[in-house]
Amino acid sequence: MTQAELRLCSLLLQEHFGEIVEKVGNSLLRTGPRPLRLLVGDTGLLPDQVKKALCVLIQHNLVRYEVQPRGSVDYEARSERILRILRYPRYIYTAKTLYGDPGELLVEELLLHGHLPMSCAVARVADRLTETMEDGKTMDYTEVSSTFVRLADTHFIQRCPMVPESPWSAKAPPLPAPALAIAEKDMYVVPRLSLVGKGKRRHSCDEEEEGEHKAKRQKQEGGISETPPDDGIYWQVNLERFHQHFRDQALVSAIASRMDQTSSEVVRTMLRMSEVTTASGASHTQPLSSNEIFRSLPAGYNIGKQVLDQYLALLADDPLEFVGKSGDSGGGTYTVKVMWGPGASWAPPSPFPHPSLIPLLLHRFGSRCARIFRLLLRKKHLEQKQVEDFAMIPAKEAKDMLYRMLSENLVSLQEIPKTPDHAPSRTFYLYTVNVMAAARMLLHRCYKSVANLMERRQHEMRENKRLLEKSQRVEAILASMQATGAEAAQLHEVEEMITGPERQQLETLKRNVNKIDASENQVDETIFVLESFIESTMKRP
């Protein structure tokens, strides 16, 4: 784990779970898996604090545990999972676009709580949706339930590993920790529940019948008084599936920009048909016959069968090989290449919506550097002189740019000796791009960027803390005054408590914080692309 990743994980934990959890997470990240007592000693926290932190981390799948042969339990932080916290807004937004408000809130609740039973999730979401509805209206559980089922069917949510059903025997000592497991086939099976009920408003006092599951108003979160029928069955968000969706989206929009809308729709249809049949590490979808594709096209697209065949042929012929022809049965079978390898991402002109990522990042160095870089990607190895010639950049400038990129490890030098004694004057020095190294370096930079952004944002908030508190107090006073029906003049007087310049300051603060937050989201998109690329390149045989 690099320092940059560690720092980012630290910040994410601290921002979302507080300093105690951060300390515990930090200790695990820096020194690796360890048992509870070492953790207590390391962090200097009270044992109960550490236990509480571990419970929180395990609940959110950020830490896993393993029983050691000697009986102690080792805890291990999952760094890649912690970094995903950055992507939560994107997951929630995607769920919204696919499954509307119930989908959005279900995914949000599952992310906020780590994992939940279905009954609990449905009840919460129904309550939340009811809050937003007009007076007198409530959200029925069935609609939320059916959205839940759809999320499970398309694998966006999955069941958590379960506690094994072992018979309770008084003689056998209970294990120090349960060994949770789940079979692949059970992962998306929704328990047969008949969740009947409607959402409740928080301040409604009507005691209408609530159906089987009384979501009693309790002091604690996540509490259902009686044992629900799906006791022990918990659900979590399947992040990998969302990632697959993001990749598909990128592919479709790349095709749309390279070819046309219709071809992108064809590919989108093919991907949709293969959603759950494509294994997570596969490079291609299962073969689909053109007849099947024709039948599955969305209603709005009434293109003829022959036209479809032409599109498929075009796609298969394209040098970027988005679509491959795998056979002739059923009017021709085709697959979509879903693996992101060097061929797809970096060959110019780049198909992806982030137009050839690396040259974009080279914007920092200048468009000429970007030109040189693209050139090197295409030609693989070039001498200094050749670079100058092909890129049509004067020698001095070209050298300067090459050395800057060299110092940043974006390009590297390859020595090819002409003579056995490797004499420098008789050796070729070729510039080349090592794509993986460059990608890793950029990813590292991205982690650093996000960490810097977060720190800056926190700094801004701290600097203006006094003013923010004042503004919150004034808001509270205004709200209570409005509730008790104060006059406009009185309200105005209270508003005046915040002076003009202070208001300006608050405005500026809000603008800055928004900008920083939006930037963090933006950098996470880049992180996703780079991580996917590195991961898929490493998987290739």
Partner 1 sequence: LSMAGRGRGRGRGQMTFSVEAVGIGKGDALPPPTLQPSPLFPALERRAAPLPGGEEGEYMLALKQELRRAMRGLPYFVKPGAPRRDIERYSDKYQLSSPVDSAIDWNPDWRRLPRELKIRVRRLRKSRTTPLVLKQHVALDKEETIKKLESLEKKEEEVTSEEEEEKEEEEEGKEEEEEEYDEEEHEEETDYVLSYFDNGESFGPDSDDNGDEAVY
Q: Which residues bind partner 1 (CB under 8 A)?
A: 15-21, 36-37, 40, 46-49, 51-56, 58-60, 65, 67, 73, 88-90, 92-93, 96, 108, 111-114, 163, 170, 174-178, 180, 219-223, 232, 234, 363-364, 366, 384, 395-396, 399, 424-425, 429, 514-515, 517-522
Nearer to partner 1, 32 or 394 (CB): 394
Q: Measured from the CB of residue 192, what is the shortest distance to partner 1 in angstroms?
A: 21
112 to each of 56, 149, 155, 162, 235, how far by Cα in Å?
A: 11, 20, 19, 20, 12
Task: Check if the beta carbon of residue 395 is closer than 8 Å to that of residue 434.
Answer: no
Q: Measured from the CB of residue 529, what is the shortest distance to partner 1 in angstroms?
A: 15
Q: Which helix (H) or strand (E) holds 431?
A: strand 427-432
- Which spans in 380-464 are helix H? 384-391, 395-407, 435-463
Can you read off the two tokens belonging to residue 305? 């069968």
Four-CA torsion 167, 169, 174, 178, nearest 10 degrees: 0
Q: Measured from the CB of residue 479, what is the shortest distance to partner 1 in angstroms?
A: 17
Q: Measured from the CB of residue 133, what is the shortest distance to partner 1 in angstroms?
A: 19
Q: Which helix (H) or strand (E) holds 490?
A: helix 488-495
Nearer to partner 1, 83 or 92 (CB): 92
Task: Check if the beta carbon of residue 474 is closer than 8 Å to that of residue 498.
Answer: yes
Burial 220-257 (b: 16+ CB within 10 A, else e): eeeebeeebbbeebbbbbbbebbbbbbbbebbbebbbb
Edge to edge, what strands does the sheet with 412-417 contain? Answer: 381-383, 427-432, 412-417
Q: Measured from the CB of residue 277, what is the shortest distance to partner 1 in angstroms?
A: 29
Nearer to partner 1, 4 or 21 (CB): 21
Measured distance CA(37)–CA(297) in Å, rounded: 59
What's phi and psi for 147, nearest 5 deg? -65, -40
Q: Measured from the CB of residue 392, what is the shortest distance to partner 1 in angstroms?
A: 18
Measured distance CA(23)–CA(14) in Å, rounded: 8
Nearer to partner 1, 37 or 305 (CB): 37
Helices 465-483 and 435-463 sit at what angle, rounded to 10 degrees?
Answer: 60
Closest CA to 525 of 281, 236, 253, 336: 253
Residues 6+ apart with CB under 8 A from 378: 347, 348
Can you read off the two tokens belonging to residue 162? 């379960």
Q: Measured from the CB of residue 462, what is the shortest distance to partner 1 in angstroms?
A: 15
Nearer to partner 1, 502 or 520 (CB): 520
Nearer to partner 1, 312 or 453 (CB): 453
Residues 6+ apart with CB under 8 A from 514: none
Task: Check if the beta carbon of residue 117 is closer than 8 Å to that of residue 95.
Answer: no
Nearer to partner 1, 47 or 100 (CB): 47
Nearer to partner 1, 142 or 521 (CB): 521
Amino acid occupying residue 213: H
Nearer to partner 1, 54 or 308 (CB): 54
Nearer to partner 1, 49 or 432 (CB): 49
What's 170's DSSP letter?
S
Nearer to partner 1, 75 or 294 (CB): 75
Edge to edge, what strands does the sheet with 157-159 contain? Answer: 116-117, 234-237, 157-159
Nearer to partner 1, 232 or 348 (CB): 232
Nearer to partner 1, 40 or 527 (CB): 40
Helix or strand or coil: residue 106?
A: helix
Q: Measured from the CB of residue 160, what is the shortest distance to partner 1 in angstroms?
A: 8
Nearer to partner 1, 81 or 96 (CB): 96
Q: Measured from the CB of residue 220, what is the shortest distance to partner 1 in angstroms?
A: 5
Q: Measured from the CB of residue 131, what is the shortest distance to partner 1 in angstroms?
A: 14
Q: Measured from the CB of residue 454, what is the shortest distance to partner 1 in angstroms?
A: 11
Measured distance CA(473)–CA(495) in Å, rounded: 11
Can you read off the two tokens belonging to residue 420? 């056995």
91 to each of 72, 136, 318, how far by Cα in Å?
A: 36, 32, 32
Q: Which helix (H) or strand (E) holds 413?
A: strand 412-417
Measured distance CA(101)–CA(116) in Å, rounded: 18
3-class secondary structure for 158-210? EECCECCCCCCCCCCCCCCCCCCECCHHHCCCCCCCCCCCECCCCCCCCCCCC
Distance, first Cα to last Cα, the chain: 24
